Each structure stands twice: as structure tokens, then as C-alpha cells.
Structure 1
Amino acid sequence: MMAYIGFGYPRFYFDWTYLLVIIGVVLSLWASAGVRSAFNRFSTVATIRGMTGAQAAQHILAQSGIYDVRVIHVRGNLNDHYDPRNKTLALSDPVYSSTSVAAVSVAAHECGHAIQHAGGYLPLKIRGSLVPVANFGAVISWPLILIGILMGFNQTLITVGIVLFTAVVLFHLVTLPVEFNASARGLRILSGSGILMGDENEGAKKVLRAAALTYVASAAGMILQLLRLLILTRGRRRE
């Protein structure tokens, strides 16, 4: 049976490159399920010290000599983040006022980003410089590629689209050391300052390890998409 595969031209065989997309989706779903499971598990485990996520964040920042970062509450679920533009550390509903191991772990991770920013951590600077290009590439790369295909496989448009998509992939790759380093910094302070005690530290490691895997899965998915693009465009050029 004839099917339209790849860039819309007929093939009489299964396009194996779809497996790359499927692998990326499976990795993403697996990682997302893992972080939800770890957070839900340790969100029911209260810390001995009884610090909320907000209190832990303020304590870590002060201990690191950072006094110009505001800890704020944002509505939502695990949309916690540090914004270097206005030096705010935003903690979500399940984190800000919770005294759980999971909440304190997430707060410590975001403090890790604030500490990176204060210390001029190079990968964080590189990621910041890539943000405008990556945002633009995420919006415009696929439309350019599709327009190039509809225009009779216009190689210029497709190449520009792939280059922009590559910038998005690069952003995801640079994000990996930034996120891993932030977690490592947060875990060291949690353990060294006594905010967490005993087995609580192991719980924090499990929460942040699961969170880190979501970034790994995201980067892997983007790489697989780029690989598929390159394979299909190369095959089309040969024709």
C-alpha cells in the first residue's frame, strides 16, 4: 500500500525515521512520569527541621552571601524558576509553603541557579546568550522547513530552518550542565547546612535526579528530531 511518508512524497516502504520521533516521545513521557512519581512520593515526607520551601531558599541564599534575590510565590504546579533579569526566585504552589523533602529540594535547585548567576557561571552565561536565537528558532524553524518543502523543496529555506533548529538543540545541550550543576550546588548546601538530615538527603537526591532526567530526555528528543531532518533532507537531495 502506498503511503505518503517523510516530506510528503510517496514511498512504498515504512519510513524508519519515524522511530526516532517515537523514541523521543517515549523518553519524554518516561522522564515526566519519573519526576511526577518522585515529587509526589517525597512531597508527603515532611522534613525534621520543618522549613518551608521559601524559608529554605532564603536560608540558602543568605548562607551563600546573596541578599539581592527576592523569593516570591507564583501560581502553578512545578513552574519554579530563577529569573536573572530581575533577580527573583519564583516558587510554585506545591513548593513555596510546603515543608516536604520534595519542596525543599526544588527550592534548593533554584537557589543553585541564583548562585550560578552571582558567581558568573560560564555555561549559564552561554545559555543566556542563546535564549533569543533559540526562541526565534523554535518559532520559525519548522514553518521555514515546511514552506521550503511546499515550494518544491527550496534548499535555501530548508537549510536556514535546519540551522535555526540546530540552535534550539544547542540550547538544550547547554542546559544540561547548567541544570546538573544547580542541583549539585543545592544538594551540597542542603546537606552541609543541616536543612535536611539523614535519609532526607537521599530523598532530595532522588527528586533532583528524576528532574534532571527530564532535561536529558528533552535534549535527546531534540537531537533525534534534528537527526531525522538531516536524514530526510539528505535522502531528498540524492533524489
Structure 2
Amino acid sequence: MDQTQNKAREIDLVAEKAFEIQSNPGQRFSELVVRLFVECKFIQGHSVFWLSDKDEEAAERLVCHQGGGFRPYNSYTKRHHYLSEAKKVAKLFATTKSPEQDPFYKALNQVLNAQVSMKGQQLAVIDGSTSTVGGVLNYPVIVCSTFDGVYATDFLSHAEPTPLQENFQLEVQYAYANSAGSVRDEYFLIDIVEFAQLQSFSEALDRDAKSACMLLSRG
């Protein structure tokens, strides 16, 4: 539900996967849930992203507030893919389409709106009778059919755009109204993933989850 307009917004996919958190004998079985909010886009035409340095402090706060047991100044936190990959992130973009038809503009709004709207809702993958939720890692993701026609340039230079060939992140300061009607302004990183590179992205999320499980098991 889009709280600002009080109407439903579609999203292509919400995917969940549970990871077991090791517990001490006698403790109830708990699991970490990785939840993806995914928009899939067929890319036509050309798009240019302006890249600049990632806000490392904001990215670390985002990781630590996710709910996976990550803490500041911790080696496992530094391994999270938001912090260990891509020191440059996309800040702005432009395409050959109008704003209403722009695939990236629509996609970033859909994945972020879905994430904030579903905050605190029941997780489908957890059976409350046999296990409890030990933590949740949420990821907004845009999956592109191809990166052909997708280019990058430096935010602070006048260099010619060059083809983007690796998965990258889009840094967004997102303002929205929560369910109570209060206006929030939050920092997000959105993974932009080429379909052909889904395997490497999946491996990065798996490493994030294993690090979170290790930290949560220690309490």
C-alpha cells in the first residue's frame, strides 16, 4: 500500500529465505530471514548513471539497523556487501524515456515502497510453531534483462559515459509517510543486478546471511 496516496502499488516479487541461527542447548530454534523486494525490468534504449563516492557512514548505519546483529567497528559488518563492494554508487540517472515511462524511476519507487509498507508484517517462510524470527535482512533489488545500453559517468567530471558491466548500487534518500502518517526520510541502497549476474549477487547475499547468523548466535 502506498501510504501517501492510499492505493496499492504492485511489485514483481517478494522472496524470502530462512537461515538457521545456531543456538545453545535448551534455547528455542530461531532463524534469520533474508527478504528481497524485486522489480524486473526489460531494458530498452539507453540509460546513464552518474557515480560518486558512497556515503560510507550512512551505509554502515543502514547495515547496523537492518536487524541482522551487525554492529559498528565489527569485521563481520565490514564484510556486508553494502560495505565491501562498490565504493562508487549511482546518485543520479537519465534515460531516453519520459519520467513516467522511465524503468529505473518506477522500479526504485516500487521496491522502496514495498519494503517500507511491509515493515513488521508476517514473514511467509517462518512457521511460528516450530521456530522464531531471530532477525530480518531486507534488500530492495532491481533486476535488469541486460546492461547493454546502460552507461556510467563520474559525478564530478566531464568524462564521456562508459558501459556499465558489473552489478552496482543506487544510493537513495527516500521520503515517505509511514502508517501513522508521519513523514520519514531514510537512506537506502538499491542493488541493480543484471540477469546474467544473478549468481554472483546471490552469493553475496549468502555471505551477508552467514555473517548475520554468526553474530546473532553470539547474542
Q: Which has the higher helix share?
A: 1
Q: Which has the higher strand share?
A: 2
Identify which of structures 1 and 2 has the higher relative contact order when contacts are C-alpha pairs closer than 8 Å and 6+ apart.
Answer: 2
Scaled by the length of structure 2, the TM-score of the pair is 0.30
Scaled by the length of structure 1, the TM-score of the pair is 0.28
